[in-house]
Amino acid sequence: MSIDNTYWPFPGQEHLPPPVYDLPPPRFAPGDLVKTRWGNATVIKVCAWPMNAGRAYLVKHTWSQAPEGFGHTFGENALELRQKAEPTPINTAASAPQLELFE
């Protein structure tokens, strides 16, 4: 069973047509680093259904120890693109006295 497959019809719904959603193009792509209310995450999959007034995304948080492919579903409005922070330069003059302690 794969998360990429959509199974239709569900049992007892053979008489209904499959759902069609009018969604805008995805704002995020698989592999994008995002921020959720639970912390930093990576987008695993762009879903083909709506969630919370936008497209749904499957994300895996950095703190998660779940196997590959497992994650949490968030709506597009609950995700922010994470900006990469510039590394702060190390001031060698200020750290020299501390280095002397370990010699």
pLDDT digits (tens, 9 = 90+) for 33-67: 999 999 999 999 999 888 887 899 999 999 999 99
What CATH number has the domain bearing residue 50? 2.30.30.390
Number of domains in the chain: 1
Report how far residue 77's alpha carbon sits from residue 53's, in angstroms, rounded to the nearest whole number: 7
Please check whether residue 97 lies inside any domain of the structure: no
Please check whether residue 53 lies inside any domain of the structure: yes
Could you write out the DSSP letters of every residue in 7-54?
Answer: --SPTT-TTSPPP----PPPSS-TT-EEEETTEEEEEEEEEEEE-SSS
Please check whether residue 88 lies inside any domain of the structure: no
Please check whether residue 89 lies inside any domain of the structure: no
| Local structure of 76: helix, strand or coil | helix
Q: What is the pTM of this model?
A: 0.66
Per-residue pLDDT, averaged over 70-81, amounts to 92
Please check whether residue 27 lies inside any domain of the structure: yes
